[in-house]
Amino acid sequence: MSGKFVIGLIVALHGSEAPRVERKKAEECRELRDQWSASYHEKNAELAEAQPVANRVEARRKQSADPKAIDLYGGLSGIRMNVPEFELAEGAILKATYAHVMAPYMVAFNRPVGDAAHPAPWRAASGGLGFDIEVQLSLRADSRPTPLDRVGTVRWLLALLRLHHPAGIRMPILSDIDFSQAASSESEPIFWPLELSPRHLVIENPQDYEFILEETLVWLRTHFGHSEDLLNDSRFGLAFRALDACHSADTLSSAMLLIWSALEALYRPGQPGITKEAERLHCDAPVQ
């Protein structure tokens, strides 16, 4: 457990009284001739005094962080790479990594005062979210590989990857810090949530799609630059967005409606039997 995290807990529990509480513990340790513990609590008292200033600096950094103007790191869940990294364009790289991002439920029972954290008691509750991030899509701040904005570029690359490699891939979060460097970074990572809802489309034999194929990486590098022409076509743009949205639908029936909408957008002004064809695809599709 890092010292920064410990100090954060101490300040959260004791608020402005944290330095006084730690110095009292240091005095008690000195009376017991435990100099190591006394030094430890004295250091905690000093850090607790500096914590509010550090918190304000960090808060300003987070408030000013703009995903359209900084390095972005998208964490991909549900897929792995069998190569260390693959450059899609200058400044746009897919890279193997690992991070388990978790959001357990914690409950506080007292209202906070001002900008301080909720005072104790806190209690853990069952449930929460968790994702294994095993591939990272990074986009350097000065990289503009498509005419889309930077978040739009990340979403476009993700959608193409899902289209060519049907493994239930999703991107739960965007980060401002490389996942492989987050553990040692002095700054706390900033996360922007993208796809946190449970996945309802389940493929058969997921082990067959565990790794991104090299041919998929090459295909992605070849075709991702055509985003503007394709998405500006009203029929294709609607179909593509509807098809990609089905991956995060709340229910299977909602996902199927999105798939039908994609088919109808492509085949408008309409061909007889399009709904029946969609129903046939639904019956044959390897989803649960």
* Helix ranges, the chain (H): 3-14, 18-31, 35-64, 150-164, 214-223, 227-231, 234-245, 252-267, 274-284
92 within 8 A of 138, measured Cβ to Cβ: yes
Q: Letter for the amino acid at 223? A: H
Please tell me the distance from the alpha carbon of residue 174 to that of residue 169, in angstroms, as a whole number: 14
pLDDT at 42 over 70: yes
- Residues 81-125 have pLDDT tens digits of 989 999 998 889 999 999 998 888 889 898 887 767 788 788 888
Residue 178 has pLDDT above 60, yes or no: yes
Q: Which two tokens stand for residue 54?
A: 């550090």
Band the pLDDT of 286: cuts 50, 70, 90.
Answer: very low
**Closest by Cα among 90, 177, 180, 176 to 135:** 180
pLDDT of residue 282: 44
Q: Which residue has the tokens 């390095």?
A: 71
Domain boundaries, the chain: 3-64, 72-224, 233-288
199, pLDDT greater than 70: no
Q: Which two tokens stand for residue 221?
A: 């590098």
Q: Which helix (H) or strand (E) holds 88?
A: strand 85-89
What average pLDDT does this structure show over 228-250? 80
Please compute the mean of the pLDDT values over residues 143-165 and round it to a whole number.
Answer: 86
Q: What is the pLDDT of the chain when averaged over all its residues? A: 79
Q: Are the beta carbons of 137 and 80 closer than 8 angstroms?
A: no
pLDDT above 90 for 135 = yes
CA angle, 132 then 172 then 131, to 5°: 20
> Rounded to two decimals, what is the model's pTM?
0.67
